[in-house]
Amino acid sequence: MVDLITRRPLPDALAQAARIATQMIEAQLSDLSGPVPDAMIYAARGGKALRAFLAIETARLHGVPPQVAAHAAAAIECIHAYSLIHDDLPCMDDDDLRRGQPTVHKRWDEATAVLAGDALQALAFELLGRLDCADAAKLDLTLSLAQAAGVRGMVGGQAADIAAETADVPLTLDQIIALQAGKTGALMSWAALVGPRMALADQAALRLYGDCLGLAFQIADDVLDVTGDAALVGKALGKDAAAGKATFVSLLGLDGAKRRAVDLVTQACDALSDYGDDAETLKDAARFVTARTH
Amino acid sequence: MVDLITRRPLPDALAQAARIATQMIEAQLSDLSGPVPDAMIYAARGGKALRAFLAIETARLHGVPPQVAAHAAAAIECIHAYSLIHDDLPCMDDDDLRRGQPTVHKRWDEATAVLAGDALQALAFELLGRLDCADAAKLDLTLSLAQAAGVRGMVGGQAADIAAETADVPLTLDQIIALQAGKTGALMSWAALVGPRMALADQAALRLYGDCLGLAFQIADDVLDVTGDAALVGKALGKDAAAGKATFVSLLGLDGAKRRAVDLVTQACDALSDYGDDAETLKDAARFVTARTH
């Protein structure tokens, strides 16, 4: 029953990844009731599941079937979901809408949002502990996720983003790149390395792919913040410009930002050349990131 | 330079544990600046370090020197510190004072408090990833910490505690015991099992010790909430009674609660009989928990 078909339409692969990650998270919580487990499941649903897809697809590329990578896919979606819950809090970005639905603190309350986020982070590490792979791979995945999620990764990027809002001088391009490498890039890169890490294989190609993809994704997000339709994107838009924050668009211009994103996607795809046709769905994913901005 | 002296005065052992855990956390963050790393260090300082002590002391009992258990001691203090930061938030317990100092959201702001807590949780798992012990032990410690911290452990207990505040019917004794087993007990029990887990040894005796100690600790806390001096305890008191919440004191009476705590301490000490004199400092720690209430 090993499912190792490598080329498939991207929407199917994304939908499969979302299903696998969500079912895994729901299975962990199925015997619990109450606002906190309910909010955990609510927050884990309805996303693009791009990170779960990267985990599952890079695993497949290294001969690890989706069912075996499922715990890692669910783990990264837990971290992503927790970060969205906490970022949406009134004391942070103060957002009412996420993925087209009320944010957790609007649907429940702030205490539930804090706790559901906290528990999702713990669940991510619990899920990795249940992975069926070599001990060395499991330890590598766990330590690297802790680093990617922490003060030198995602939280550090988020803190730098908040600091930038009140800074006297707007950030430079290099500073924004460094900030985004933490805020968005660290989780994306971790997801792209699930395959080689589980298979104890070389990480270089997918590291480059993940780093380029993460940055392209954030540039595309900045572009969408200016050009997008809130109803389609599923969250409030135009907030960065309103806040006078430096973004890739303010620094590179709209066309310049789009060009940079396309260049990064080309780099990401080129990085996968040694994998041949097996990597086509991953390349499609990279192209999809910028396609959203056109 | 292996430091395996087992009997030492409890205050010295606690002070040593606090020093080891704090220095380890500071070392992880020494090259960083900004409110979030500063708040992480601030929150990790100044506690009793009872959990770090349990980790170090039970490690010593199994031939693992303090320097080797330091990562585990720091990890459990990271989880404890993060839980205090988030519990103190306005949307949770809304406390201004912790360990005699302004809480993190008062000293900085709520966003910093949310992020510093989040990053401390990630740091705990990063620290465990750097432990110098067998892979199997490291994986066991990591998975069990994720469970102890999560929705079936600490966060679950905290959620149950919040639900109890608005419940129509006060909790029964069994319900409060279950709540506390999560809220306080899970981390305490995890800390008490660091030694046997690192040494891949039998956990039964220290599991009983940790469970009894955790419950005794919470009963003592309820007693102190009624009888204590806020200046000495270092946080606001009398809040439970004011909120009309069921506590061990409201259910057992003040004397009944004190007696129950003493019984649990006796059980905790008896559980260690096979360790002989080597476990005296751990027994002193159990006695210290109830001594605070007299």
CA-based nearest distance B11→chain A, Å? 32
**pLDDT bucket at B2, cuts 50 / 70 / 90:** very low
Kindly report which listed range (A24-38, A168-182, A219-233) carries the lowest average pLDDT score. A219-233
Buried b (16+ CB within 10 A) or exposed e, B2-21: eeeebeeebeebbebbbebb
Euclidean distance between CA atoms B263 and B279, whole angstroms: 18
What are B175-215's pLDDT values in tens digits?
A: 999 999 999 999 999 999 999 999 999 999 999 999 999 99
**pLDDT bucket at B170, cuts 50 / 70 / 90:** confident
Residues shown for chain B: 294
Question: A117 to chain B: which residues are within 8 Å by CB?
Answer: 118
Q: Which of A29, A30, A189, A184 is nearest to A119 (CA)?
A: A29
CA-based nearest distance B79→chain A, Å? 10
What are B131-140's pLDDT values in tens digits?
A: 999 999 999 9
The helix or strand, by DSSP H or E, that contains position B203, with its residue range, turns out to be none
Q: Using the predicted structure, report yes or no on whether residue B5 has a pLDDT greater than 60.
A: no
Which residue out of A125, A127, A140, A175 would a mutagenesis test of the B interface target, given it has the greatest number of B Cβ atoms within 10 Å? Answer: A125
**pLDDT bucket at A2, cuts 50 / 70 / 90:** very low
Question: Residues with Cβ < 8 Å from A176, sequence gap 6 or more?
Answer: A246, A247, A248, A251
Euclidean distance between CA atoms A284 and A292, whole angstroms: 12
Question: A122 to chain B: which residues are within 8 Å by CB?
Answer: 121, 146-147, 149-151, 153, 155
Evaluate whether B280 touches B6 at the Cβ level (below 8 Å). yes
Task: For residue A138, give the chain B residue with the closest CA.
Answer: B139
Q: Which of A32, A114, A159 sits opposite B86 (nearest CB)?
A: A114
CA dihedral A250, A256, A259, A265 (to 10 degrees): -30
Alpha carbon distance, N-terminus to C-terminus of chain A: 39
pLDDT at B166: 83
What is the homologous superfamily of the domain B10-291 according to CATH?
Farnesyl Diphosphate Synthase (1.10.600.10)
* pLDDT > 90 fraction of chain A, expressed in percent and rounded: 82
What radius of gyration do chain A's Cα atoms show? 18
Specify the residue for token string 């993460």: A214
pLDDT at A1: 37
**pLDDT bucket at B261, cuts 50 / 70 / 90:** very high
pLDDT at B165: 85
What are B126-167's pLDDT values in tens digits?
A: 999 999 999 999 999 999 999 999 999 999 999 999 998 888
Q: Using the predicted structure, report yes or no on whether residue B69 has a pLDDT greater than 90.
A: yes
Euclidean distance between CA atoms B54 and B283, whole angstroms: 11
Which residue out of A32, A152, A190 would a mutagenesis test of the B interface target, given it has the greatest number of B Cβ atoms within 10 Å? Answer: A152
pLDDT at B233: 59
Average pLDDT across chain A, whole number: 92
Evaluate whether B227 touches B254 at the Cβ level (below 8 Å). yes
Longest dimension (CA), chain A: 58
Euclidean distance between CA atoms B96 and B107, whole angstroms: 9
Task: For residue A89, give the chain B residue with the closest CA.
Answer: B111
Report the pLDDT averaged over residues B102-129: 98
Q: Which of A183, A196, A1, A156 is nearest to B126 (CA)?
A: A156
Q: Which of B103, B140, B118 is nearest to B235 (CA)?
A: B103
The CA-atom distances, in angstroms, between A256 and each of A114, A172, A260 are 38, 15, 6
Q: Are strands B101-102 and A97-98 parallel, antiparallel or unpaired?
A: unpaired
What are B206-254's pLDDT values in tens digits?
A: 999 999 999 999 999 999 988 876 555 555 666 666 667 789 999 999 9
Name the residue ranges covered by the structural domains of chain A: 10-291
Report which DSSP code applies to A277: G
Question: B151 to chain A: which residues are within 8 Å by CB?
Answer: 29, 32, 36-37, 40, 119, 122-123
Which residue out of A114, A161, A200 would a mutagenesis test of the B interface target, given it has the greatest number of B Cβ atoms within 10 Å? Answer: A114
Structure tokens at B226: 């009624």
The helix or strand, by DSSP H or E, that contains position B246, with its residue range, turns out to be none
**pLDDT bucket at A245, cuts 50 / 70 / 90:** confident
Q: A123 and B130 in contact by Cβ < 8 A? A: no
pLDDT at A229: 67
Euclidean distance between CA atoms B203 and B207, whole angstroms: 6
CA-based nearest distance A189→chain B, Å? 17
Which residue blocks in chain A are alpha helix, DSSP H? 10-29, 35-44, 50-61, 66-87, 104-107, 110-129, 135-149, 154-166, 173-180, 186-192, 194-198, 204-227, 230-233, 239-242, 248-252, 254-271, 280-291
pLDDT at B1: 37
Structure tokens at A57: 């697809």
What radius of gyration do chain B's Cα atoms show? 18
What are B37-59's pLDDT values in tens digits?
A: 999 999 999 888 999 999 999 99
The model's pTM: 0.94
Q: Using the predicted structure, report yes or no on whether residue A289 has a pLDDT greater than 90.
A: no
Average pLDDT across chain B, whole number: 92
Euclidean distance between CA atoms A69 and A55, whole angstroms: 7
CA-based nearest distance B114→chain A, Å? 7
CA-based nearest distance B10→chain A, Å? 32
Q: B121 and A126 in contact by Cβ < 8 A? A: no
For residue A101, the SS3 value is: strand
pLDDT at B243: 66
Report the amino acid identity of residue B71.
H
Q: Which of A52, A98, A86 is nearest to A71 (CA)?
A: A52
Q: A146 and B32 in contact by Cβ < 8 A? A: no
Task: For residue A120, give the chain B residue with the closest CA.
Answer: B150
Q: Is the model more confident about B107 or about A234?
A: B107
**pLDDT bucket at A12, cuts 50 / 70 / 90:** very high
Burial of B232 (0-12, 13-18, 19+ CB in 10 A): exposed
